[in-house]
């Protein structure tokens, strides 16, 4: 990773040049100059345009070479063909960073792509850091460095705060800031890396993790180019307790297709992104509504101690809707403590029912602000509650303001997240404004409110576990194996047979069925006798990977004569299926009774590299696509989470009187496959252990069938 | 159902009295009087309060008995204990309808409940129609009859339109109207039935179905009291092409608990509500956001002809997000026709890519409004497209207005739903306002936009099918059976044995396994020989319903001696399990090989009555709770939909090379169970056919085990 400090001149410039500055109000150069002046940027501004002597009262220079100092950064907005010479001039003038707004590069494909490649060479040679091209710029909200032409700056002010925002789409990004500003949410940076010829979304993330003013990092992401760099930044962010909240688009196949045409690059599978995010404490959100709500919550609240919600509600219906959401997202709504009931009992009239959710419709607001605040305070202090939710309905004008003031007083008093779902529209605006300026967080929908709380709880849990793991050094859970023996087994060019794959599993002590390859009918019978009946028999040939398809599998053989006959039959079938196949013999395997079939696999994602997959056999994988994924390597915690994540967990943990399966054995195999894949990843492109039989608790597991695909195999796709 | 015209004096009053009118601005009587005057109600107003001679310049009467005419309706807001006498006075004065705002009735339980019961008796005797008590009133937006104290009327105007809204929570309802009015959505009626002592949510729905101005019916529902009345109204609404959109709360267990404490009544299971809605073309939404979005779409748009979406987008990222949603909700995004491509090709510069979604970021808006509108028109006219979606980003002020005007021109031109997702915040306000006043429907989120379109497509599909069914008279798909024989079999008091249940199934020709009850070991062997091996054997006793639990089931018996031994063993087990049980013998059954196990059941919902359930056996039902439900009776279309609705459909239709199962046989059993349940519903509380074996296509199905619970059985819950 490049040093983040390289980006400081770009992101906190003491002086800026604008190449392509213009008097035209609607042009990029005109807008940028206008915003810099309007919002009072304190550094030096050097407009560059040979056509003008001065612009908006500032001296304008005919060329970047002639500005009086090497500006910290330069915004470039001239025709694409002039960009590279201009960048070379910048370098010559000693300028270290640039933001290239100009479009017409890789996003066009063909010639544009070539031009971007040239640009890449030039900035590499010159050692410059460049944002763009085809970006709408960056804004430093603390220094009013508005090197950006997004129209979210058309208003009177830009809102300073603690949220850093990075966007791979300038148009969507600017829109998002505008919506946030409507809700008084404040930012440290707006960062649009455009085509990412140099600085990318992850570089900006890395910068924000270290930035003092930034408390929450938010991003709109279409594609991450360097997954390893991203995972490093994500881990650093967890250490620094800076939540990263990402809206990743291109979820479905149709979306991914549009994504590819937009970025000119393949988007990795969305499920792998999701897995990588979960694994590293990154918060994933579905849309801008949820991004806004979650960012707002993290920006203003501390982490809750637990998931127990207390509700103070102006509507019975509102309580129902909140209860629905709490159940949906796994938050609890416990009873109040006896102490709280007693204290409230002294204070409230007899017809007020004191419970959680607490219905305020009996006239709670008739007693005036002091009584309200006292009541709220007692409720919010309840030791059974970790989070306080206010539910407000149709109150207008000054009355709304009064309610908000009481709620804010409560939020200021308690050391717990305090949030409000206010169902009314703009007639309650005076109340909204009070809340938006306070530490009580306003939501306009119960779903967004509780979903944001859920995201925060997940983050808090992840962080606690992560810190816990660091303390006891449990991170060293990786298994080791006999790597050199495995490498030896992987030599060669032909496909690996099932038995060869098993021998590689043996190097990492991955448990499997007992088996041996027979090369005659007599030997087959001998092996079967040794293993004990019943046995399975499978044709063994490096050229016959799909054995069932070839008719090369027989199960449940119980007699010596059957085994001998089957041996001969399988050879015949193998030969007729593929006359050119080299048939090594027939694999004789013990049969495993009972247990549950699972599938464990490893494959390579174009973005995140080797990933591991777990699923239950049969309909769970085939019909429900019920699998969990992680990017390798996995820790014990990851492996345990993978097991709990699948719907099939209900089967594994022993549903309806059936025995609990050996979950430790699954964890163990996942960790060993992880170790194997990390050691041999260069040689292996795919592993498929299908099925693995998991036996009841304490009795372990056995890989029944295994396929390992070499990276160099003709069937390999990577 | 009561005549809806009974409600006309209440909902379209020529004169109103306000009992409890008051000069206090914050009181109910004060607010109502104030709103009537402020919004210019044209009828006569009669304030009633003995304390005042006049109020706001209007003559005030000491008692309702003294007002100069029998007012069409009266709003009552006095202490609970005075309400009944006041209602009696109203009746004496010849007043036919009343709206009782006063709280302190059933919602308090105990004494309040009794008071409401008394009120019920009085209005029944007097033949009055009453809304409330404990309601915030009704508003007729066309006549400015604002008999309501909800503060959504604190603004300068109330918005007239074509949406009728009914709410079982006044607080939530008023809030919703306020939010809608912020978006320029207009209403015909706001109707809050409160405790529903007389007029309930369904009565109001029925009124709105017949109301000329109302095009869309929306409702916030906690509970429907009379399901049959509701289903009738829903059917009538489909005929009149008036969509009913319902937000039903109390979804989860926690939510339902809160619902019960709120309404003082049990809420029916949410899944049955959902099933009843789907079955009757009622649109179900999850929250107020979705209610608002869906109401807005239906209010302004005609139904689309198909699900093919064309997108004109100011952002590649925006296109991705829309594509994601379209895939999620089953909308298509087809290619443009050659004609459109050709016409646009002539018009647009060479670097503009002409496809769907069409990206406008190449500078589509630089050509001015005329060029924009021409381009939009050609695109929107494409014969491959049924719905046009505009995607706008960060445009501010006048520029936003300009864009909106071009989009509105397109919407006005084409005979297709035209909608806009505009991602920006309030800086684009001038554009929002143009759209909100046009037939182009503005959404602020892609999810709400596409989800609303999906709801509309579902509704259009339902209506088309419904009309189709009426034409070919396919509704007569109900099976018939030998009802009197079944009734005879149902006589008696002891529990029905499995075999007795089967005999009842026989009356409706529901296919089942061959079986007979043996009363001796010798007879058992004879039956087994007749059936053919293997057989199953089960203890047969009206007192042993859970046969497996009693150890009373044996499967796969293949020999005469086994059958004899098993007969004796089962008798012993039955006796030791329940020494008092009357054991009739042992049931001998054929075993069915192959096929897929399903479960079909009938149970009674407290709200909707008999409902039928279908699910796949094993993990689908036990772990995934994957079942489909319908309210009885079901049509063939319902039955077919039930099959397609479950996830297990993938298994039934023949996944991964396995045979397709006999779906017609499932439909047939569902229809027969429907007929049986409708005929014998008074005598039966529960039916459980578990398992039913479905064989491959053309080979039918067989009920293996059956349980029928009499309504009078001690184990029956209904």
Q: Which pLDDT tens digit goes with each residue over A409-452? A: 998 889 999 999 999 999 999 999 999 999 999 999 999 999 99
Same domain, A210 and A292: yes
Same domain, A390 and A357: yes
Provide the chain A residues 394-453 that lie in CB contact (below 8 A) with chain B. Answer: 394-397, 399, 423-428, 444-447
Q: How far is B273 from chain A (nearest CA, A)?
A: 15
Under 8 Å CB pairs connecting chains A and B tally to 244
Residue B584 lies in a domain: yes
Residue among B152, B323, B393 whose CB faces A172 most closely = B393
CATH of residue A444: 3.40.50.261
Are the Cβ atoms of A393 and B175 closer than 8 angstroms? yes
Are the Cβ atoms of A178 and B424 closer than 8 angstroms? yes
Q: Which of B237, B306, B239 is nearest to B277 (CA)?
A: B237
| B26 neighbors B18 (Cβ within 8 angstroms) | no
Q: How far is B353 from chain A (nearest CA, A)?
A: 10
| A246 neighbors A282 (Cβ within 8 angstroms) | yes
Q: Positive or negative, the Cα torsion across A182, A186, A189, A191?
A: negative
Q: Give the model's pLDDT for residue A459.
A: 97
Are the Cβ atoms of A255 and B320 closer than 8 angstroms? yes
Residue among A182, A250, A395 whose CB faces B320 most closely = A250
Residue A715 lies in a domain: no
- The rounded percent of chain B whose pLDDT value lies above 90 is 79
How far is A404 from A438, CA to CA, in rounded Å? 10
Same domain, A154 and A275: yes
Are the Cβ atoms of A150 and B394 closer than 8 angstroms? yes
Q: What pLDDT digit, counting tens, does each position of B217-268 carry?
A: 999 999 999 999 999 999 999 999 999 999 999 876 555 555 444 333 333 5
pLDDT category of residue B621 using cuts at 50, 70 and 90? confident
Same domain, A562 and A648: no
CATH of residue B651: 3.30.470.20
Which burial class, exposed, middle or buried, applies to A480 when counting CB atoms under 10 A from its CB (0-12, 13-18, 19+)?
A: exposed
Are the Cβ atoms of A447 and B286 closer than 8 angstroms? yes
Closest Cα in chain A to B149: A394
Q: What pLDDT digit, counting tens, does each position of A562-578 carry?
A: 999 999 999 999 999 99
Q: How far is CA A355 from the centre of its chain?
A: 38
Contact with chain B for residue A350, Cβ under 8 A: no
Closest Cα in chain A to B391: A172
Q: How many domains is chain A partitioned into structurally? A: 4
How far is B410 from B414, CA to CA, in rounded Å? 6
Q: Which of A531, A532, A533, A525 is nearest to A586 (CA)?
A: A525
Q: Positive or negative, the Cα torsion across B84, B87, B93, B94?
A: negative
Q: Give the model's pLDDT for residue B549.
A: 85
Same domain, A63 and A207: yes
Provide the chain B residues 205-244 that lie in CB contact (below 8 A) with chain A. Answer: 220, 222
Structural tokens at position A361: 């419709």
pLDDT category of residue A478 using cuts at 50, 70 and 90? low
Q: Where among A272, A298, A324 does a domain terminate?
A: A298
The end-to-end CA distance of chain B, in Å, is 25
Average pLDDT over residues B491-502: 89
Domain that holds residue A558: 514-590
Q: Give the model's pLDDT for residue B136.
A: 95
Same domain, A292 and A309: no
Are the Cβ atoms of B320 and A262 closer than 8 angstroms? yes
Contact with chain A for residue B260, Cβ under 8 A: no
Residue A476 lies in a domain: no
Residue B293 lies in a domain: yes
Residue B505 lies in a domain: no
Q: How far is A316 from chain B (nearest CA, A)?
A: 6
Residue A611's DSSP bridge partners are: A603, A631
**Which of chain B's residues have a Cβ under 8 Å away from the Cβ of A254?**
323-324, 326-327, 333
pLDDT category of residue B145 using cuts at 50, 70 and 90? very high
* H helix or E strand, kind and range, residue B678: helix B663-680
pLDDT category of residue B108 using cuts at 50, 70 and 90? confident
Structural tokens at position A264: 């000119």
Q: What pLDDT digit, counting tens, does each position of A286-333 carry?
A: 999 999 999 999 999 999 999 999 999 999 899 999 999 999 999 999
**Which of chain A's residues have a Cβ under 8 Å away from the Cβ of B425?**
152, 175, 177-182
pLDDT category of residue B713 using cuts at 50, 70 and 90? low
Say if strands B160-167 and B187-192 run parallel, antiparallel, or are unpaired: parallel
| B182 neighbors B292 (Cβ within 8 angstroms) | no
Contact with chain A for residue B473, Cβ under 8 A: no
Contact with chain B for residue A593, Cβ under 8 A: no
Q: Give the model's pLDDT for residue B470.
A: 57
How far is B595 from B702, CA to CA, in rounded Å? 10
Q: Where among A566, A590, A614 does a domain terminate?
A: A590
Same domain, A307 and A212: no
Closest Cα in chain B to A258: B320
Contact with chain B for residue A273, Cβ under 8 A: no
Closest Cα in chain B to A356: B258
Residue A474 lies in a domain: no
Same domain, B568 and B668: no
Q: Give the model's pLDDT for residue A266.
A: 32
Same domain, A461 and A536: no
Q: Where among A263, A280, A298 does a domain terminate?
A: A298
Chain B interface test: which of A102, A259, A292, A321 (most B C-beta within 10 Å): A321
User: Which of A18-27, A188-197, A334-343, A473-482 bottoms out in mean pLDDT, i.e. has the lowest?
Assistant: A473-482
Residue B395 lies in a domain: yes
ipTM confidence score? 0.91
Say if strands B244-248 and B283-285 run parallel, antiparallel, or are unpaired: parallel
- For every residue of B195-223, DSSP letters joined together read T-SSS-HHHHHHHHHH-SS--EEEEEES-
How far is A590 from A704, CA to CA, in rounded Å? 9
| A384 neighbors A334 (Cβ within 8 angstroms) | yes
Same domain, B94 and B217: yes
Same domain, B230 and B111: yes
Same domain, B369 and B226: no
Closest Cα in chain A to B170: A315
SS (H, E, C) A355-407: CCCEECCCCHHHHCHHHHHHHHHHHHCCCCCCEEEEEECCCCHHHHHHHHHHH
Residue B538's DSSP bridge partners are: B553, B587
Residue A522 lies in a domain: yes
**Which of chain B's residues have a Cβ under 8 Å away from the Cβ of A180?**
425
Are the Cβ atoms of A152 and B624 closer than 8 angstroms? no
Are the Cβ atoms of A252 and B361 closer than 8 angstroms? no
Closest Cα in chain A to B180: A425
Structural tokens at position A80: 């694409």
Q: How many CA atoms lie within 13 A of B708 on its CB side?
A: 28
**Which of chain A's residues have a Cβ under 8 Å away from the Cβ of B622?**
655-656
Q: Give the model's pLDDT for residue B327.
A: 92
How far is B364 from B351, CA to CA, in rounded Å? 11
CATH of residue B556: 3.30.1490.20
């Amino acid at each position: 990773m490049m040093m983040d400090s390289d980006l400081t001149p770009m992101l906190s410039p003491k002086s800026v040049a604008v190449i392509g500055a213009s008097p035209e109000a609607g042009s990029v150069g005109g807008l940028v100059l206008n915003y810099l002046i309007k919002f009072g940027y304190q550094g030096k501004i050097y407009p560059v345009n040979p056509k003008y002597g001065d612009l908006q009262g500032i001296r304008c220079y005919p060329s970047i070479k002639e500005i009086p100092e090497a500006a910290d950064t330069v915004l470039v907005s001239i025709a694409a063909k002039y960009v590279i010479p201009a960048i070379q001039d910048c370098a010559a003038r000693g300028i270290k960073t640039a933001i290239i707004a100009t479009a017409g590069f890789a996003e066009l494909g063909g010639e544009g792509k070539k031009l971007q490649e040239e640009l890449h060479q030039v900035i590499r040679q010159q050692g410059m850091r460049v944002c763009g091209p085809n970006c709408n710029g960056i804004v430093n909200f603390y220094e009013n460095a508005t090197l950006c032409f997004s129209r979210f700056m058309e208003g009177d002010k830009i809102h300073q705060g603690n949220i850093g925002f990075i966007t791979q789409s300038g148009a969507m990004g600017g829109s998002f800031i505008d919506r946030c500003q409507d809700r008084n949410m404040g930012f440290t940076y707006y960062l649009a890396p455009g085509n990412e010829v140099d600085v990318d979304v992850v570089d900006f993330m890395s910068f924000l993790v270290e930035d003092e003013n930034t408390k929450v990092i938010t991003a709109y992401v279409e594609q991450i180019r360097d997954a390893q760099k991203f995972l490093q930044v994500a881990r650093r962010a967890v250490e620094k307790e800076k939540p990263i909240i990402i809206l990743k688009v291109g979820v479905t196949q149709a979306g991914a297709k549009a994504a590819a045409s937009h970025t000119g690059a393949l988007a990795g599978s969305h499920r792998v992104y999701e897995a990588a995010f979960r694994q590293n404490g990154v918060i994933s959100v579905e849309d801008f509504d949820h991004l806004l709500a979650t960012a707002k919550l993290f920006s203003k609240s501390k982490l809750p101690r637990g998931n127990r919600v207390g509700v103070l509600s102006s509507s019975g219906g509102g309580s129902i809707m909140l209860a629905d959401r709490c159940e949906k997202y796994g938050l609890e709504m416990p009873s109040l403590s006896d102490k709280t009931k007693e204290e409230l009992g002294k204070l409230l009239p007899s017809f007020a029912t004191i419970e959680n959710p607490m219905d305020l419709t009996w006239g709670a607001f008739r007693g005036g602000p002091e009584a309200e605040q006292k009541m709220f305070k007692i409720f919010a202090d309840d030791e059974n509650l970790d989070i306080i939710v206010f539910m407000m309905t149709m109150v207008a004008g000054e009355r709304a303001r009064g309610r908000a003031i009481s709620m804010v007083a409560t939020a200021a008093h308690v050391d717990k997240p305090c949030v409000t779902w206010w169902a009314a529209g703009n007639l309650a605006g005076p109340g909204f404004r009070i809340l938006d300026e306070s530490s009580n967080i306003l939501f306009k929908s119960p779903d967004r409110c509780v979903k944001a709380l859920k995201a925060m709880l997940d983050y808090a849990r992840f962080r606690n576990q992560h810190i816990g793991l660091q303390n006891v050094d449990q991170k060293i859970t990786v298994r080791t194996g006999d790597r050199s023996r495995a490498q030896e087994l992987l030599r060669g060019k032909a496909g690996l047979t099932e038995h060869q794959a098993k021998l590689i599993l043996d190097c990492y002590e991955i448990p499997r069925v007992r088996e041996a390859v027979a090369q005659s009918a007599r030997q087959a019978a001998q092996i079967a006798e040794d293993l004990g009946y019943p046995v399975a028999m499978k044709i063994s040939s490096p050229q016959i990977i799909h054995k069932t398809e070839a008719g090369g599998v027989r199960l449940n053989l119980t007699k010596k004569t059957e085994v001998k006959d089957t041996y001969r039959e399988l050879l015949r079938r193998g030969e007729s299926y593929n006359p050119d196949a080299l048939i090594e013999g027939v694999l004789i395997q013990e049969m495993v009774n009972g247990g549950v079939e699972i599938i464990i696999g490893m494959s390579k994602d174009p973005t995140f590299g080797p990933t591991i997959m777990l699923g239950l056999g049969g309909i769970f994988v085939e019909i429900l696509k019920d699998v969990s994924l992680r990017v390798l390597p996995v820790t014990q915690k990851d492996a345990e989470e993978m097991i709990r994540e699948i719907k099939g967990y209900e089967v594994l943990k022993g549903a309806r009187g059936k025995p609990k399966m050996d979950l430790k054995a699954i964890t163990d195999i996942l960790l060993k496959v992880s170790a194997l894949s990390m050691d041999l990843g260069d040689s292996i492109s795919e592993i498929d252990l299908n099925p693995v039989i998991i036996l009841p608790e304490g009795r372990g597991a056995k890989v029944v069938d295994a396929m390992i695909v070499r990276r160099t195999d003709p069937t390999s796709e990577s």
